[in-house]
């Protein structure tokens, strides 16, 4: 079966976090949608099939008094919600879970994005959750040397059992490419950044 991330416009004219499932032949199976408590725009950015046969989706929900919250949703194959993980950063603003999810053999999930801090910048964030119930194992954040916006986009579990992530970080004068490696306990192994010749 096919599982697609989407945004669906609700009766209030705002967008809900949405997953659509189709058969391999393109026939409709079910639709799941979730509206944040603020009843304004929410979004689902990516969907993955887990090693346990369940569905895992990333994105953000707008919740009352909390702004955009980093969100991971798990569904079973029939479209019934198993759990929802929602994280509101210390800055109470824009927190997003982007495009990557990785799984290990111990029943853990790893995903990433950015979180708004109390100093009003966005930090690169990696979060680990338990597949069985969505409980948080750990959170890792990274603030680049420019002390501004840092964003994680994609994550993989390497053949060596470590995590490898990529995204962007604000350097001293511009955005730089960033690759960060962590172990599965959330400890930083190394950070590599690259500033292109145009310094932009």
pLDDT of 80? 97
Q: What percent of the chain has pLDDT over 70?
A: 98
The whole-angstrom separation of Cα 136 and Cα 158 is: 21
Q: Which long-range contacts (CB under 8 A, 24 or more apart) does 101-108 make?
A: 101/46, 101/48, 101/56, 101/58, 101/155, 102/155, 102/156, 102/157, 102/163, 103/48, 103/50, 103/51, 103/131, 103/157, 104/157, 104/161, 104/184, 105/51, 106/184, 107/52, 107/131, 107/132, 108/137, 108/184
Lowest mean pLDDT among 32-46, 126-140, 152-166, 184-198: 32-46
pLDDT of 60? 92
pLDDT of 93? 78
The whole-angstrom separation of Cα 154 and Cα 111 is: 8
Q: In which order are the strands placed within the sheet that holds 122-130?
A: 96-103, 108-116, 122-130, 136-142
pLDDT digits (tens, 9 = 90+) for 79-97: 999 999 999 988 877 888 8
pLDDT of 130? 98
Work out the average pLDDT over 143-151.
Answer: 89
Work out the average pLDDT over 97-105.
Answer: 93
Query: What's the Cα-to-Cα distance from 138 to each of 128, 159, 186, rounded to whole Å?
Result: 5, 22, 6
pLDDT digits (tens, 9 = 90+) for 20-65: 999 999 999 999 999 888 888 889 999 999 999 999 999 999 888 7
pLDDT of 120? 66
């Amino acid at each position: 079966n096919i599982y697609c991330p989407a945004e669906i416009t609700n009766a209030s004219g705002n967008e809900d976090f949405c997953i659509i499932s189709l058969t391999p032949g393109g026939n409709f199976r079910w639709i799941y949608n979730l509206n944040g408590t603020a009843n304004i725009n929410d979004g689902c950015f990516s969907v993955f099939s887990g090693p346990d046969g369940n569905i895992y989706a990333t994105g953000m929900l707008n919740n009352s008094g909390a702004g955009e919250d980093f969100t991971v949703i798990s569904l079973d194959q029939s479209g019934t919600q198993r759990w929802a993980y929602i994280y509101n950063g210390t800055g109470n603003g824009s927190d997003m879970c982007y495009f990557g999810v990785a799984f290990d053999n111990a029943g853990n999930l790893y995903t990433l994005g950015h979180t708004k801090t109390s100093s009003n910048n966005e930090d690169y964030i990696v979060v680990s959750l338990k597949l069985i119930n969505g409980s948080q194992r750990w959170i890792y954040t990274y603030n680049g040397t420019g002390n501004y916006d840092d964003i994680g986009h994609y994550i993989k579990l390497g053949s060596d059992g470590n995590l490898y992530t990529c995204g962007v970080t604000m350097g001293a004068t511009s955005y730089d490419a960033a690759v960060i490696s962590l172990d599965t306990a959330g400890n930083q192994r190394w950070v590599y950044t690259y500033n292109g010749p145009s310094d932009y």
